C-alpha cells in the first residue's frame, strides 16, 4: 500500500493494488497481439531449412501448437487461482520460493524484455521505412543511429507513454492492432484457399540430410518462439475484471485462435511455395502474397508486418513491466518500481524502466547476437510455471480453483516433456549459446543473496 496513492487494494480480494479495468476481449487481444508478431511471417522459411520434408514440416507446427495450448491450459489454472500482476513470476514464487522467481526477473531485466522490445521495434521500424520507400539502414544525419534505430527508439517511447497513461488506452491500441494483424492473415488465408490451387502445387524439398532429430529440435525452437506469448495474459492478471472467469477463457480462446491461424497460414504457404523455394524466401508471407495478388501483395504484407510488430511491442509493454512491479513489491528490487501512478493507476515507474532498457538495446551495436541466442532462456521458467500446478495442488489443496486443467495430469506433462526435449536439443546443437544462457541466469543467484542481505 505504500506507493498506492489514490489507488487502493482494500476492495480487491487478492490484494492487488492495480485497478482491474481489462475485460475478457481486451485480455484475449493482449495474448493474441503479443504472440502474433513477425514470427509467422518469417519463421516458416527457417523451419523449412531445418526440416525440408513436408510431413515433418507440418508435424512440427502441429506439435508447436499442441505444446503452446498445453502450456496455456495449465497456466490458466494458476492465473484464475492467483490473479496477481506478474504472472509466471508469482506462480514460480508461490511454488518454488523467491530465488527461482528472482532469477526469472533477473533474466527478464537483463536480457529478455529489453531484447524483445528492441528486436520487435526494429522490425516494425524497418518495414515502416520500406513502405516509405527509404532505406532504414541509412544513418540519421550525423548520429551513429540508423533511421530504423531512431524510429524504433521512438516507437518504444511512444508505447511506454501510452501504457503509462492507463491500461485502457494501451488496450485500445492493442485491440486495433490485433484486429488488423488477424485480418491480414485471414485475408491471406482466404485468398490462398481460393487461388492457390491454380498457382502452384505443394511440393516437398529433396535433400533429407537436414531432416534429423537435431534439425527437428532446432526447428521447434523457431516454432515455439513464433508461438511465444501464450502466457502473457498472466502478467496482467491483476488488472483483469472478474479474473476467475475471464482469465481461463482468455488463455484458451487466445491460444487456440493463434494455433488455428498459424496452421491455416502455413497450409497456404506450402500450397503456393514449395519447401525447396521457401528456404530462400525469408519473408515468406510477402512471397506468397505477391504470387497470389501481384506486386501490391508485398506492400500489403509489409504494412501488416509493421502493424503486427507494433502491436506486439505494445502488448509486451503492457505485460513485461508487471514482472518488475511484482519483484519490487516483494522487496527484491528497488521499491520505487512498485509505485502505482496516483492518477492513471499504472505501474508507471516499471514501465519507464522497461522503456529505457529497450531504447538502450535498440541503440546498441553488437548486442543482437546475444539477445537472439537468449530466446531459449525463458523456457526453464515456463517449465517451472507449469510444474507449479503439481506443487500447489499438493501444498495448497484448499486454494480456490475456479478452473482446473483439462486433462490433468497429462496436459501439463506434455508441456514438461516438450520443454526437456527443447532444452536438450538446444544444449546438444548450440552448447556455447546454451552455456551462456545458463551462466547469465546463474549469475543472478549471488545478486539475489546480496539484495536480501542489503534489505535486512
- Which contiguous run of DSSP H or E holds residue 30? helix 24-35
Q: Where are the beta strands (DSSP E) in 97-178?
A: none
The number of domains in the chain is: 1
Report how far residue 227's alpha carbon sits from residue 64's, in angstroms, rounded to the nearest whole number.
7
Question: pLDDT tens digits for 216-253?
Answer: 877 888 898 889 889 999 999 999 999 999 999 999 99
Residue 35 lies in a domain: yes
Distance CA 229, CA 312 (A): 9
Domain that holds residue 172: 24-455
Residue at 13 is within a domain = no
Query: Which tens digits make up the pLDDT trace of 297-317?
Result: 878 888 888 898 899 999 999
Contact by Cβ (8 Å): 415, 380: no
Q: Kindly state whether residue 2 falls inside one of the protein's structural domains.
A: no
pLDDT reported for residue 241:
93
User: What cell does 323 get?
Assistant: 514482472
- Farthest-apart Cα atoms in the chain, separation: 71
Res. 107: pLDDT tops 70? yes
Specify the CATH number for the domain of residue 280.
Answer: 1.20.1740.10
DSSP letters for 373-398: HTGGGGHHHHHHHHHHHHHHHHH-TT
Reported as a pLDDT band with limits 50, 70 and 90, residue 211 is low
Whether 50 and 220 have beta carbons less than 8 Å apart is answered as: no
Query: Which grid coordinates are listed for 395?
Result: 501444498
Nearest to 146 by CA among 165, 122, 179: 122
Q: Strand, helix or coil at 366?
A: coil
Q: Report the C-alpha gap between 420 and 400 in whole angstroms.
A: 30
- Mean pLDDT across the chain, nearest whole number? 86
- What one-character DSSP code corresponds to residue 139? B
Decide if 326 contacts 89 (C-beta within 8 A): yes
Match 525440408 to its residue by C-alpha cell: 52
Instruction: Return the pLDDT at 369.
Output: 53
Residue-by-residue DSSP string for 195-233: HGGGT----PPP-GGG-SHHHHHHHHHHHHHHHTTTTGG
E strand segments, 144-278: none
**Side-chain-side CA neighbours of residue 37 (13 Å):** 30
What's the DSSP call for residue 22? B
On the question of pLDDT at 1 being above 60, the answer is: no
Q: Is residue 12 part of a domain?
A: no
pTM of the complete model beyond 0.75: yes
User: Are the beta carbons of 174 and 30 closer than 8 angstroms?
Assistant: yes
Within a domain: 223: yes
- Measured CA to CA, the distance from residue 109 to residue 120 in angstroms comes to 16
pLDDT at 203: 47
With b meaning 16 or more CB within 10 Å and e meaning fewer, what string describes 279-306? bebebbbbbbbbbbbeeebbebbbbbbb
pLDDT at 21: 92
Question: Is residue 321 included in any domain, yes or no?
Answer: yes
Reported as a single tens digit per residue, the pLDDT across 44-68 is: 988 888 888 889 999 999 999 999 9
Per-residue pLDDT tens for 250-272?
Answer: 999 999 999 999 999 999 999 88
Span 132-146, mean pLDDT? 79
* 83/70 Cα distance (integer angstroms): 19
Residue 11 belongs to some domain of the structure:
no
Is the per-residue pLDDT at 389 higher than 80?
A: yes
- Is 272 a domain residue? yes
Write out the H or E segment, with its range, that includes residue 129. Answer: helix 113-131
Give the whole-angstrom CA distance, residue 427 versus residue 156. Answer: 33
- Backbone phi, psi, residue 22, to 5°: -95, 130
Most confident of 46-55, 133-142, 198-207, 231-240: 231-240
Mean pLDDT score, 337-345: 91
Amino acid at each position: 500500500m505504500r506507493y498506492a496513492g489514490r489507488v487502493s487494494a482494500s476492495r480487491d480480494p487478492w490484494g492487488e493494488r492495480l485497478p482491474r479495468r481489462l475485460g475478457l476481449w481486451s485480455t484475449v487481444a493482449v495474448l493474441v497481439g503479443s504472440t502474433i508478431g513477425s514470427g509467422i511471417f518469417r519463421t516458416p522459411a527457417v523451419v523449412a531449412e531445418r526440416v525440408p520434408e513436408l510431413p515433418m514440416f507440418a508435424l512440427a507446427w502441429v506439435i508447436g501448437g499442441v505444446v503452446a495450448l498445453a502450456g496455456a491450459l495449465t497456466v490458466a489454472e494458476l492465473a484464475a487461482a492467483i490473479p496477481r500482476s506478474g504472472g509466471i513470476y508469482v506462480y514460480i514464487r508461490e511454488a518454488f520460493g523467491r530465488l527461482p522467481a528472482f532469477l526469472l526477473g533477473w533474466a527478464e531485466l537483463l536480457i529478455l524484455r529489453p531484447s524483445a522490445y528492441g528486436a520487435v521495434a526494429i522490425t516494425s521500424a524497418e518495414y515502416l521505412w520500406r513502405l516509405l520507400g527509404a532505406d532504414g539502414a541509412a544513418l540519421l544525419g550525423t548520429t551513429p543511429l540508423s533511421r530504423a534505430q531512431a524510429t524504433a527508439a521512438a516507437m518504444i517511447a511512444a508505447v511506454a507513454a501510452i501504457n503509462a497513461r492507463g491500461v485502457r488506452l494501451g488496450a485500445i491500441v492493442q485491440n486495433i492492432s490485433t484486429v488488423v494483424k488477424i485480418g491480414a492473415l485471414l485475408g491471406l488465408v482466404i485468398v490462398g484457399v481460393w487461388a492457390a490451387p491454380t498457382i502452384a502445387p505443394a511440393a516437398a524439398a529433396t535433400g533429407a540430410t537436414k531432416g534429423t532429430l537435431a534439425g527437428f529440435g532446432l526447428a521447434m525452437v523457431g516454432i515455439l518462439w513464433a508461438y511465444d506469448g501464450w502466457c502473457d495474459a498472466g502478467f496482467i492478471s491483476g488488472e483483469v475484471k472478474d479474473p476467475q472467469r475471464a482469465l481461463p477463457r482468455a488463455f484458451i480462446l487466445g491460444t487456440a485462435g493463434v494455433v488455428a491461424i498459424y496452421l491455416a497460414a502455413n497450409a497456404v504457404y506450402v500450397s503456393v511455395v514449395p519447401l525447396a523455394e521457401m528456404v530462400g524466401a525469408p519473408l515468406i508471407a510477402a512471397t506468397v502474397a505477391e504470387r497470389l495478388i501481384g506486386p501490391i501483395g508485398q506492400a500489403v504484407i509489409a504494412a501488416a508486418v509493421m502493424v503486427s510488430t507494433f502491436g506486439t511491442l505494445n502488448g509486451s509493454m503492457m505485460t513485461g513491466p508487471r514482472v518488475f512491479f511484482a519483484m519490487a513489491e516483494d522487496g527484491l528490487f528497488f521499491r520505487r518500481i512498485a509505485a502505482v501512478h496516483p492518477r492513471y493507476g499504472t505501474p508507471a515507474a516499471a514501465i519507464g524502466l522497461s522503456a529505457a532498457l529497450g531504447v538502450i538495446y535498440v541503440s546498441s551495436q553488437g548486442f543482437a547476437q546475444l539477445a537472439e541466442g537468449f530466446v531459449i532462456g525463458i523456457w526453464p521458467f515456463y517449465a517451472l510455471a507449469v510444474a507449479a500446478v503439481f506443487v500447489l495442488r499438493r501444498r495448497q489443496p484448499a486454494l480456490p480453483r475456479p478452473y482446473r486443467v483439462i486433462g490433468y495430469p497429462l496436459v501439463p506433462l506434455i508441456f514438461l516433456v516438450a520443454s526437456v526435449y527443447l532444452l536438450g536439443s538446444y544444449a546438444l546443437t548450440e552448447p556455447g549459446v546454451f552455456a551462456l544462457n545458463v551462466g547469465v541466469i546463474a549469475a543472478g543467484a549471488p545478486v539475489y543473496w546480496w539484495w536480501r542481505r542489503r534489505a535486512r
